[in-house]
A and B are shown apart, each in its own frame.
Chain A
Amino acid sequence: MIARTALFSVVLACAPAFTADGLLPAKLLSPPTDTWPTYNGDYSGRRHSPLTQINAENVKNLGLAWAYRIQTGPTGGGMEAFFASEIKSTPLEVDGVLYFTVPDHAWAIDARTGRQLWHYHWNSKGGIHIGNRGVGIWGNWVFFETPDDHLVSLEKDTGKFRWAVEIADLAQEYFSTPAPLVIGNHIIVGVGGDSLDVPGFLEARDPETGQVQWHWNTEPKPGEPGSETWPNADSMAHGGGMTWIPGTYDPELNLIYWGIGNPNPVHAGQGRKGDDLYTCSIVALNPDTGKLVWAYQVSPHDTHDYDAVQTPVLFDGQIDGHPRKLLAQASRNGYFFVLDRTNGQHIVTAPYIDLTWSKGLNAKGQPIPNPAKEPQPDGALVSPASDGATNWPPPSFDPDTGLFYVNAMQSWSVFYLTDTGEHPEGFAGRDSGVWSQSALKAIDYKTGKVRWSHPYPNQDSGFTGVLTTAGKLLFTGDPSGNLIAFDPATGAILWHAGMTAPLSNGPMTYQLDGRQYVVVGAGDTLYAFALNR
């Protein structure tokens, strides 16, 4: 453990009242109204709020309540600075305070006014500073992960440093971006890192001490189930499969659901012939033991960097007239999947963009990769590009419309295999983007058909998060810096506001003292919108 400094640990006089118990884990089980206690607002990943004060009738009166621009101090410049000051985290809102991050930084600000309460800066030893998804809160303690692979715990009300524990090895090119997921007394952390063929994992950490409660590797060991999908022990020990987006949780089934990243070496499959489980899979684990309960692989033997980390969204629905407990993912590979979340049984697979990497589906609804579309030394033209048909920004499911909403990208790229040897390493290839265009798509979960699509007129690419509310509204951002409220049933635009940068996180909402706020991050600024008074 290394001593860290809190730059601004000042709690102002009218800070929110101290609550002895802080955020109890049980609060995470209720729909988000006065509180947004976890990355997705609740465990389901639906990002659907029951709030209705802001609604389709009055949204035209939505105006700016406050804006807060972060100050991170000097950065390294270039690409590092570009990403490091972008707010990709979804703020948590607890007792009238918003908690959010960018890499190496965490803030608490007043949720009613945007006034800063504290700012904490972690002195990083390095690592890829591409983004941070935010904090987890347990009781009176805040947890976040850092680019140099530490889980840091702060005091929620002061920002004062408690402890930090190392969760992965920076020297092996791991870097950590997820928001920790709090379930009971488990702080569940995931990792990223695809430069050097390291194995992915999930861990549960103790909220008091940071010690490991369980550790689950995304690849099997020789002899274990799934090991038959790798050619040898070396390939599965270096098989990738990162866990860099927070998962979801069903408290009744007591299962956590996580999307697993792509295999390594990223673009070269010749050294890892087979399906490469559990990369590019949706997995269900017991949160108390870390034991795998079921897995469904959405991209067998991926060579295009189509990781399957996108939020596994949980809802109950009707399939062929029968009530089912469902899980849906709009995956980076361009297919929309619906599974039975009790057992991983396949229900729907349907493409939501025009894609070319697969030859069709097998009996279990899994795409069959087309070998001609794998990266080639002289190039293979493929849709979608390695950035995918969608990426990390969170989608939304609206139970009122029965539609799943995702910002999708039609894109083409030339994939080159740069290492044709038997023992490739790292990415072992490159892809070179050709053309792309983004659109907001509404997908019918029963069929996977795109019910409506709103292409953004600017032929520029970008992915943004989505929020729906019981006020019959859908909030998202276009690639041009507009925050837009759509009618989720029809795709009609009801309201918009221009911002200084495109939406860079998942929008969230909460109601305090009878006033509903919608808060979004755009570049280095948080904007809060509320009805004009």
Chain B
Amino acid sequence: MVAKFLGLLPPPDPEAVARGQKTFVATCGFCHGTNARGGAGGPDLVRSVLVLHDEGKGDKIGPVILNGRPDKGMPKFNMTEAQIKDIAAFLLSRNQAAANRASYQIQNIVTGDPKAGHAYFSAHCASCHAEGDLAHIASKFDPVALQNLFLYPRQHRWPGMPGPPPDPRTETTATVTLPSGESVSGILVHIDDFNVSLKDSSGEYHSWTLGDGSGVTVKVHNPLEGHIELLPKYTNADMHNILAYLETMK
């Protein structure tokens, strides 16, 4: 979906890419680098304008391979049309690997000191969280997801984005008091300057108008407020230490 949004071409055939990579590394890698990012005298081909216009077809890079560029010191290469097409597929895959930021792999992020993370947890988190609450948390989420979740345990989702239902303990609640003095509490569904709506404990939906002399008052309780307050206080080391500590809870 992201590749389509980014306007990228359909990805090339992986087998052609693998064949092309083999030929490229053996024949072109010395000058252009084995990853095509440029090397001893040869330019970067990942963002080469000529290669980008080739679009994985081989019709633009073919003549350059077959004729060389004597003025720039590039020799001729005797290749078959199939070999050229495979190299074109490999270069397209390299181009897409750079252009498709959603495909980038995050490296190892469990770099902190679990003992220091434990100490931070005891000092800043233990007033709300018993250690047992978090048992096995590291086996439920990968490290990147876990790092984001401990920073703020409710993730923003685009409408319709897939994912598990929110943990009820993370839900914001609200108590609405009406002019009669009656009050209704529940999970906050929506609030803006003009309306509030919630679901009560039986799952029933209620909504009220705010302001304009309605006399309706709302008290909102976000159980994650403590997480927001910590965001300006963490150093990078604190964040990595806490993650390392949570990663001990497999």
Contact = CB atoms under 8 A, between A and B. Distances in A.
A339 interface: no
A480 B190 contact: yes
Nearest to A148: B7
A79 B5 contact: yes
B148 interface: yes
A83 B1 CA distance: 13
A74 B61 CA distance: 36
Interface of B: 1-2, 4-7, 37-38, 44, 46-47, 49, 52-53, 55, 95, 98-101, 104-112, 144, 147-148, 151-152, 156, 158, 172, 190-194, 211, 220, 222, 227-228, 231-232, 234, 236, 239-240
Contacts of A377: 106-109
Given A432-B148, A435-B228, A379 B240 contact: yes
Given A356-B232, A372-B236, A418-B107, A425 B7 contact: no
Contacts of A71: none
Given A378-B107, A412-B151, A459-B222, A79 B190 contact: no
Contact of A458 (B1, B112, B190): B190
Given A383-B232, A425-B47, A482-B194, A378 B108 contact: yes
A420 to B, nearest CB: 8
Contacts of B228: 435
Interface stretch (A169-177, A357-365, A441-449): A169-177
Given A238-B47, A430-B106, A458-B191, A414 B7 contact: no
B43 to A, nearest CB: 9
Contacts of A400: none
Ranked 6 nearest A-B pairs via Cβ: A480-B192, A427-B101, A426-B98, A418-B104, A378-B109, A195-B99
Given A377-B107, A378-B108, A78 B152 contact: no
Contact of A461 (B111, B152, B156): B156
Contacts of A457: 191-193, 220
A496 interface: yes
A412 B231 contact: yes
Nearest to A478: B192
A373 B5 CA distance: 29
Nearest to B52: A171
A79 B193 contact: no
A435 B104 contact: no
Main secondary structure on B side of the interface with A: loop
A378 B148 contact: no
B108 A435 contact: no
A222 interface: no
Contact of B147 (A127, A173, A414): A414
A231 interface: no
Given A238-B47, A412-B151, A433 B144 contact: no
Contacts of B109: 377-379, 416
B104 A456 contact: no
Contact count band on A = 35 or more
Contact of B236 (A130, A170, A381): A381
A420 B211 CA distance: 53
Nearest to A484: B193
Given A238-B47, A423-B38, A426-B98, A79 B148 contact: no
A171 B95 CA distance: 11
Interface string A365-394: 000000010001111110100000000000
Given A414-B147, A496-B193, A196 B104 contact: no
Given A196-B98, A416-B109, A461-B156, A379 B147 contact: yes
Nearest to A377: B107
Contact of B152 (A198, A372, A429, A435): A435
8 contacts: A126-B7, A378-B109, A412-B231, A433-B156, A457-B220, A459-B172, A459-B222, A484-B193
Interface string A123-163: 00011111000000000000000010000000000000000
A381 B7 contact: no
B115 to A, nearest CB: 17
Interface of A: 76, 78-80, 82-83, 126-130, 147, 169-173, 175, 195-198, 234, 238, 354, 356, 372, 376-381, 383, 412, 414, 416, 418-420, 423, 425-430, 432-436, 456-461, 478, 480, 482, 484, 493, 496, 498
Q: Which of A377, A379, A436 has the most CB of B within 10 A?
A: A379
A172 B53 CA distance: 8
Contacts of B239: 379, 381, 414
A98 B90 CA distance: 48
A337 to B, nearest CB: 23
Contacts of A427: 101, 104
Contact of A432 (B2, B144, B220, B227): B144
Contacts of A378: 107-112, 236, 240
Contacts of B55: 171
A82 B104 CA distance: 24
A399 to B, nearest CB: 27
B101 A426 contact: yes
B110 to A, nearest CB: 8
A360 B192 CA distance: 35
Contacts of A196: 46-47, 52, 95, 98-99
B7 A127 contact: yes
Contacts of A170: 7
Given A380-B236, A381-B231, A383-B231, A434 B152 contact: yes
A484 B190 CA distance: 17
B53 A171 contact: yes
Contacts of B147: 379, 414
Contacts of B194: 482, 496, 498
Contacts of B49: 169, 171-172
B191 A416 contact: no
Q: Which of A126, A129, A425 has the most CB of B within 10 A?
A: A425
A477 to B, nearest CB: 11
Q: Which of B2, B7, B37, B47 has the most CB of A within 10 A?
A: B7
B4 A414 contact: no
B233 to A, nearest CB: 10
Nearest to A455: B193
B247 to A, nearest CB: 12
Q: Which of B108, B112, B193 has the most CB of A within 10 A?
A: B193
A123 B47 CA distance: 26
A129 B79 CA distance: 39
